[in-house]
Amino acid sequence: MTALAPAVARVARRAGPAWPLTLATALLLAALVLPPLAVLLQVSLTDPNLDGSPGALTLRHYAQLLDDPHLLASAANSLVFAACATALSLVLGAALAWLVERTDAPLKPLATLTTIVSLGTPYILYVTAWLYLLGRAGPFNEAWRNLGGAGNLVDPYSLPGMILIEGFLWSPLVFLLLSATFRAANAEMEEAARMAGASIAATLWRISLRLAWPAILALALFVFIRNLEAFDVPVLVGTPGRISLLTTDIYLATKEVPPRLGHASAFSMVLVLVVAGLLVLYGRLARRAEAFASVTGKGFRPRPFALGRARPVAGLLIAVNFVLVLGLPLLALLWVSASPFLRPMRWAGLPSLTWKHYRAVFSVPAYVDLALHTILAAAAAATAAVAITAIAAWLAARRHPGGPVLDQLATLPLVFPGIVLGVALMELSLRLPFPLYGTVSLIAIGFTIRYMPYGMRYAYAGVLQLHRELEEAAGLSGAGPLGTLRRVVVPLLSPALAAAWLFIFLIAAKELSMAVLLAGPGSQTMAVAMFDLWSNGQGGELAALGLVWAALMTLVATAFHLLGRRSGTAAYGR
Amino acid sequence: MMKPPPPDATLAVSGLRKIYPGGQGGVHEAGFTLTPGTFFTLLGPSGCGKTTTLRSIAGLERPDAGRIALGDRVFFDAAAGLEVPLDRRQIGMVFQSYAIWPHMTVFENVAFPLRVARDRRFSRAEIAASVGQALETVGLAAFAARPATRLSGGQQQRVALARAILRAPRLLLLDEPLSNLDAALREEMRTELKRLQRQLGLTTVYVTHDQAEALELSDTIAVMQAGRVVQMGPPRDIYLRPRNRFVASFVGATNLLDAAAPEAVAAGAIGPATLSSGQVLQATYPEAARPGTRIALSIRPEALFPGPAPDGWNRLEATVETAGFLGNLNRYKTRLGNTQLHLSTSPETLLEPGCPVTLHVSPANTLALQEHP
């Protein structure tokens, strides 16, 4: 024992004064992140006993999975769906971001408005709006029939329909992220090209696009991964249209009686491996994008490109995007929420508009509980995720020993598609000696695990912007690691942490794929309740509830936007 | 490429105005005419409008008023509603950040103006020859194939220069091109810039806040303050004959002593100036003064001599306060009544702190300056 003490002291000295903090953070992260992975692996490799506990080892689930001809079809559908939707959202989002950030195009606020509203609106609400718009009673098919066409012009329950809807869903986020890229870019790079005699088109093609290319490529891969994991559109559009995708296959396997958990777990493991591979690729691309990011000059407010005669066209593009991504769905939802039953949009229907769906929403106390559950779970998850990742990001960014491990642990949940994490947490919680399955707490834990990587990104970037000497001065003044963290780092980091909190809150509040597996009858979240309403054919009530909720969340999203703009200007220099 | 400049490369800027919403920075009134081949420097503190002036000439900003012409080509005329787009002005420009495109090689960066040229198509051989010559001129011939991301600051600077002169522009604009370099490299590039400008005979507009750079490089300097050109002239005039207090203190170090004119003095004449202590000095008045006009006497630290001096020089009885040895010179702070007087001497001249000293300065180097001329 006495011989051990100097050795421990030596290790502790090398690990630096922050090692107890590092160790505690690592253990906490590991306890959150590793069990879901372990349980998936175990269930996928064992035969269940009659009581549901894991039995003998087997590769049966994997063998069945690979034998199933259905898998190939689902995989192909998933790939086509993810790739095409990514391309669509990228073209829309990138064009919009460039027009808004670098030209004198009119109507710019419309693009920002679209983004803010879409940040807070559950995807499921958008999807139902589009299903109505493109559906049999929707204005497109109605116009087609009025023009003398037979049957329906478009069928939303098809792969192209799914791609269209998913592409629209993602374009605001692409716009948001690429706006930052274009804003941070050194405008002198483009000005130099113009001075060298290049036209606007040549500058755009040879300089702007090429410089943004690594960032666009990295973003494309990120959106592709998220589209591969998508659940809302596949289950709402694909399943009724008999188009199976990987995520919906997993979901349906857990909903069979008895649930085929081994099958779902093996399926999940395969999906986790695919996503992990893509994430490694993404990491490389993102690093290259950073190497390309140029140092800006004195931060002169760049004069945006004068589009001249093309200006009205640019304005039209922005307006059309606004109508497609926000205007039409909103109009459809308003119509549906105020109509007594599902019917086409017609002037003749105006007199019979009704408040009954809104009255229903406000008179049923269960809806208030629903809102409270959702806010509670999202807020708890945002708080926990931000608290843990703020410490982990500081330790990692300041290269404390063990920092890289913290970084990897906190980023690991990116490999879990929502549905997969849902399966894992379901299996995990069913084995616990105390009842956790079906509670709001479990959903909050799930959100925390799933969205920690986002907290990490915000906090890490925030720490990198802090000058190291601020902390060293605190250390020289006698503050320990915890004191430095509490009195210097966290206060200076607060804008980044607040942005992270709001972002996680917003995406958690609209999450469906994981919550739908974990929610019990008394612990539904808003998105899950909307899913149920949709499944029960209560479209009117769904639209009314969704609009009220979206209005509330738009307020939060506005706060997020304002905060980002304030701290964004500080980061980008004027 | 290295032809003498066309005879009509006269840059004429008049009545230039550009006010930003919010009122920070911008130009209130700027005008100048440069003979071809002039190295012209806009000098001033940040926010004085020098960069806005440069960017207006480039076409990167649209002025609110004024006229900009190069020879017989009018680039901008607010009254006539005329504006030539920046990509049609055929001006070479080096940006503060150099703006070297990281996704291209050195060769491609320099060749860019020919690749996007719309007046004619250039053959591969023509492009290779022009780029080769431009790189030769800036001393980077061996670097053509190198990726732009693998260049030092000085090399990026040279690439930016090569790109700017590739199409033999009639005008070269340089926006604080040396501010991102370290001190030693800055010295080297200063010489290099001057050599290139002479060799190519290019009319050049240079923006800087570094007075040493401006004095060494320029044929003509325009000192700007708060959006206006306050003095324009050759470097010697700017330094030795500043027109007002601001120019004297911004360009080089100087002592400013509060004084008043006891009688009327004509512009350019030598006349008496009364210090607050009552002592009367003989000073040069760049502007006419009336009896009682408040003035600041500007005396450069190196114009003061502690030794014997010719008749007619001003004598100042001061006390040495502190001494500092800088290698190439000694710097002293002395006290004259209730003001401080800075003095620089040769390294051999030694003065003891605490001792009285008699300082001499010629009337030509004692300038009676007014707040605004």
Give the per-residue pLDDT at A180: 80
**Got the DSSP string for A75-137?**
HHHHHHHHHHHHHHHHHHHHHHHHHHHHB--S-HHHHHHHHHHHHHS-HHHHHHHHHHHHSTT
Token couple for B46: 């940040």
Closest residue in A to B111 (Cα) is A196
Bridge partners of B205, per DSSP, are B40, B173
Which three-class secondary structure state does DSSP give residue A59? coil
B116 and A297: CB-CB below 8 Å? Answer: no
Q: How many CB atoms lie within 10 A of CB B236?
A: 10
Give the per-residue pLDDT at A404: 87
**Got the DSSP string for A376-439?**
HHHHHHHHHHHHHHHHHHHHHHTT-TTHHHHHHHHHGGGG--HHHHHHHHHHHHHHSSS--TTS
**What span, in angstroms and rounded, lies between the C-alpha atoms of A446 and A31?**
13
B87 and A194: CB-CB below 8 Å? Answer: yes
Closest residue in B to A189 (Cα) is B99
Give the model's confidence band at B313: pLDDT under 50 very low, under 70 low, under 90 confident, else very high: very high
For residue B87, which residues of chain A lie inside 8 Å, CB to CB?
A: 194-199
Closest residue in A to B100 (Cα) is A189
Distance from CA of A297 to the nearest CA of B (A): 5
Candidates B62, B113, B176; nearest CB to A196: B113
Candidates A189, A199, A303; nearest CB to B99: A189
DSSP letter (8 states) at residue B359: E
Percentage helix, strand, coil for chain B under 3-state DSSP, each rounded to 5: 25, 35, 40
Sheet strand arrangement including B330-336: B339-345, B330-336, B314-325, B356-361
User: In chain A, what is the greatest distance between 2 CA atoms, to the nearest angstrom?
Assistant: 94
**Got the DSSP string for A409-424?**
HHHGGGG--HHHHHHH
Q: How many CB atoms lie within 10 A of CB A70?
A: 11
**Interface probe, candidates B62, B87, B119, chain A, greatest A C-beta count within 10 A:** B87
Nearest to B363 by CA among B270, B246, B235, B257: B270
A199 and B118: CB-CB below 8 Å? Answer: yes
Candidates A198, A211, A303; nearest CB to B116: A198
For residue B118, which residues of chain A lie inside 8 Å, CB to CB?
A: 197, 199
Q: Is the bond leading into B4 cis (omega within 30 degrees of zero)?
A: no
Token couple for B198: 């002479």
Token couple for B332: 């002293």
**What span, in angstroms and rounded, lies between the C-alpha atoms of A86 and B346?**
73
For residue A192, which residues of chain B lie inside 8 Å, CB to CB?
A: 93, 95, 99, 101, 160, 163
**What span, in angstroms and rounded, lies between the C-alpha atoms of A113 and A541?**
25
A191 and B118: CB-CB below 8 Å? Answer: no
A197 and B90: CB-CB below 8 Å? Answer: yes
Give the per-residue pLDDT at A185: 76
Which residues from B are below 8 Å from A when comparing CB atoms?
51, 55, 58-62, 85-93, 95-97, 99, 101-103, 112-113, 115-118, 149, 160, 163, 167, 176
| Tens-digit pLDDT profile for residues A78-87 | 999 999 999 9
**What span, in angstroms and rounded, lies between the C-alpha atoms of B65 and B48?**
18
| pLDDT value at B1 more than 50 | no
Give the per-residue pLDDT at A282: 86
For residue A198, which residues of chain B lie inside 8 Å, CB to CB?
A: 87, 112, 116
Which residues from A are below 8 Å from B when comparing CB atoms?
186, 188-189, 191-199, 202, 206-207, 210-211, 213, 291-292, 294-298, 300, 303, 306
Residue range B351-358: average pLDDT?
91
**Interface probe, candidates B27, B62, B88, B98, chain A, greatest A C-beta count within 10 A:** B98
B60 and A186: CB-CB below 8 Å? Answer: no
Token couple for A486: 């509490």
Nearest to A512 by CA among A411, A421, A415: A421
Give the per-residue pLDDT at A364: 84
Give the per-residue pLDDT at B69: 95
Residue range B243-264: average pLDDT?
92
B112 and A196: CB-CB below 8 Å? Answer: yes
**What span, in angstroms and rounded, lies between the C-alpha atoms of A478 and A449?**
35
Amino acid of residue B254:
T
Residue range B87-115: average pLDDT?
91
For residue A303, which residues of chain B lie inside 8 Å, CB to CB?
A: 60-62
- How many residues appear in chain A? 574
| CB neighbour list of residue A119: distance below 8 Å, 6 or more residues apart | A172, A173, A176, A506, A553, A554, A557, A560, A561
Nearest to B304 by CA among B252, B342, B361, B358: B361
Torsion of CA A252, A257, A261, A267, to 10 degrees: -30
Give the per-residue pLDDT at A570: 37
- Residues (pLDDT < 70) of chain A are 1-16, 50-52, 290-303, 566-574
**Interface probe, candidates A188, A189, A194, A195, chain B, greatest B C-beta count within 10 A:** A195
C-alpha dist (Å) from residue B84 to A291, A292, B67: 36, 32, 12
B101 and A189: CB-CB below 8 Å? Answer: yes
For residue A193, which residues of chain B lie inside 8 Å, CB to CB?
A: 101, 112, 116
Give the per-residue pLDDT at A568: 47
**Interface probe, candidates B20, B61, B86, B156, chain A, greatest A C-beta count within 10 A:** B86
B103 and A202: CB-CB below 8 Å? Answer: no
| Tens-digit pLDDT profile for residues A441-485 | 999 999 999 999 999 988 988 888 888 888 888 888 888 888 888
Amino acid of residue A557:
A
For residue B113, which residues of chain A lie inside 8 Å, CB to CB?
A: 196-197
Q: H or E element: which one contains B58? A: helix B50-58
| Tens-digit pLDDT profile for residues B25-69 | 889 999 999 999 999 999 999 889 999 999 999 998 899 999 999
Phi, psi of B147 (to 5 degrees): -65, 145
For residue A195, which residues of chain B lie inside 8 Å, CB to CB?
A: 58-60, 86-87, 89, 91-93
Closest residue in B to A185 (Cα) is B99
**What span, in angstroms and rounded, lies between the C-alpha atoms of B172 and B176?**
13
- CB-count exposure of residue A113 (10 Å: 0-12, 13-18, 19+): middle
Instruction: Decide: pTM greater than 0.90.
Output: no
Distance from CA of A294 to the nearest CA of B (A): 8
Candidates A191, A300, A306; nearest CB to B51: A300
Give the per-residue pLDDT at A2: 53
For residue B92, which residues of chain A lie inside 8 Å, CB to CB?
A: 195
Note whether B280 and B263 are within 8 A (CB): no
Distance from CA of A244 to the nearest CA of B (A): 42
Give the per-residue pLDDT at A13: 60
Distance from CA of A558 to the nearest CA of B (A): 26
What percentage of residues in chain B have a pLDDT greater than 70? 98
Kindly report the average pLDDT of chain B as a whole number: 90
A294 and B62: CB-CB below 8 Å? Answer: no
**What span, in angstroms and rounded, lies between the C-alpha atoms of B164 and B207?**
16
Distance from CA of B105 to the nearest CA of A (A): 13
For residue B58, which residues of chain A lie inside 8 Å, CB to CB?
A: 191, 195
Give the per-residue pLDDT at A260: 84
Tracing tokens 């008049």 back to the chain, one arrives at: B14
End-to-end CA distance of chain B: 44
B112 and A198: CB-CB below 8 Å? Answer: yes
